[in-house]
Amino acid sequence: MTQQADDTTHFGYQTVATEDKVEKVAEVFHSVAAKYDVMNDLMSFGIHRVWKRFTIDCSGIRPGQKVLDLAGGTGDLTAKFSRVVGSQGHVVLADINDSMLKVGRAKLRDLGIEGNVEYVQANAEALPFPDNHFDLITIAFGLRNVTDKDKALRSMYRVLKPGGRLLVLEFSKTEQALLSKAYDFYSFNILPGMGKVVANDADSYRYLAESIRMHPDQETLKGMMQDAEFEGVEYFNLTGGIVALHRGYKF
């Protein structure tokens, strides 16, 4: 469960009141928004672009379709989907954090991407869209920050069209012992310092490292998606399981 019996939840390794988590996560992303893209490249050594390209390849998206890029941040996936769906299609870049949305909007407009993209500030747990609306929903590196993940998955299922698919790209668990040790050392000893130097914010990147460890593993998330009525759920481990792409369908 994402929420504990005493109405508390996890914020990284801290236990906080459930009602306070959204604000705390918002503070993190308000702080890192301006340097988000730079830090993504530095943190992952550019590999996040490969993970996102694999997500695009697994999307099955076609011209004229509707896409929801949830927790879409600075719009990397939105930019790709905008070009694929074309002028007859529609992409919604949704994020709960207005600072991230502003950075994403400015970035995509600088790239000349307008017309078929809409920007919506939205909470994944209560999506402000009609039932059976989208052909595809993606959420990349955002689900671990959601307070009630089960509620969010049900909300995604509701707004997805029959025959549509959900793609969840998220940090996950590697079972390779040496890789796990190296990854932990990097996450807790190198990453916060990098965040301090580049974004002037070590604490936010310490939280990001902790939030990854608190996120459900591959099989648990698969079960959560199935509980939310998604069918044909499968996952693909990337970079030794440091990241996993989960895919599920609404039939």
Judged by DSSP in three states, 66 sits in: strand
Residue 95 assigned to a binding site:
yes
Task: Show Cβ contacts of residue 150 under 8 Å, excluding neighbours closer than 6 positions.
Answer: 1, 2, 224, 227, 228
Cα separation, 158 vs 128, in Å, equals: 11
Sign of the four-CA dihedral 56, 74, 144, 181:
positive
Residue 124 assigned to a binding site:
yes
Query: Which of 116, 106, 49, 111 lies closest to 81, judged by CA?
Result: 116
Q: Where are the beta strands (DSSP E) in the chain?
A: 8-11, 14-17, 66-70, 90-95, 117-121, 134-140, 160-171, 231-238, 243-249
Tokens encoding 29 = 């992303």
Query: Can you say which residues are annotated as belonging to the binding site?
Result: 74, 95, 123-124
Query: Can you say which residues are annotated as belonging to the binding site for S-adenosyl-L-methionine?
Result: 74, 95, 123-124
